[in-house]
Amino acid sequence: MFEDGLIFLNELFLERLNYVIYVVLLLIGLHAMIAKNNFIKKLIGMSIFQTAIILFYVSIGVKEGATIPIYLPEHDPHGEQAYATGGPEALTVEQVTSYANPLPHVLMLTAIVVGVATLGLALALCQKIYQGYGTVEEDELMAKLEKEDASSRKPKTHPAGKSSSKPEVSSRAKRSGTNSVGKTTAPQAKKSSGARKTKAPVKKATRKSDQKKGDSK
């Protein structure tokens, strides 16, 4: 029973030690992305997570004793040996298994490029956030954003507490020609101008009477 347990542990950890390392790296990166409040630490966790996935797929394409996926001279269907035997021939199963699969490596090369571009863009955004708000902590940034939203929703008031909106002029005041401050209306202006016109002839009459008295003298 004890020997069976040792054999199981040997097959699980020693023979597949690379898979254990990938799982540990995945858990570290995932924990950093979820649990940390600092954006830079989140990006470091994301980079570790991507690295673990890349290593996992590269390890899948590894073959012991296999060669690169380029035709050997004796396997080249368009080489001199193939034409000497009468033309190109398809490779057998044993010949194909001696080559490594290039697909995982090609896909992970693309993933590396995308990961570098994503990391660079995320770091640039973190720099802009720090320049604008002075922090890259998620909780502090959310508190500042909530304060900005609350201040933008409040109406603007004067220091004395009065509202900045001007009083609206009523329709009756508009028709009569008055405003809210209490200036003279159009009918009052007409009355004042009429009073001035009536006073002017009186002055002329007094001047004429004075001239007649001077002539009589």
State the DSSP code for 32: H
**Who has greater pLDDT, 71 or 30?**
30
**Who has greater pLDDT, 10 or 132?**
132
pLDDT tens column, 4-24: 667 766 766 677 788 888 999
pLDDT at residue 176 tops 60: no
Q: Residue 185's pLDDT is what?
A: 46
Q: Is 49 exposed, middle or buried (0-12, 13-18, 19+ CB in 10 A)?
A: buried
State the pLDDT confidence band at 119, using cuts at 50, 70 and 90: very high
Other CB atoms within 10 A of residue 59 CB = 13
Q: What are φ and ψ of residue 32, in 5° steps?
A: -65, -35
In CATH, the architecture of 2-86+99-149 is Orthogonal Bundle (1.10)
State mean pLDDT over 126-149.
92
Please state the domain extents for the chain.
2-86+99-149
Q: Residue 120's pLDDT is what?
A: 94
DSSP bridge pairs for 137: 38
Other CB atoms within 10 A of residue 198 CB = 8
pLDDT tens column, 185-206: 444 544 444 445 444 444 444 4
pTM: 0.58
Extract the tokens encoding 182.
């209490």
- Going from the C-alpha of 192 to that of each of 71, 179, 187, 195, the distances in angstroms are 113, 19, 9, 5
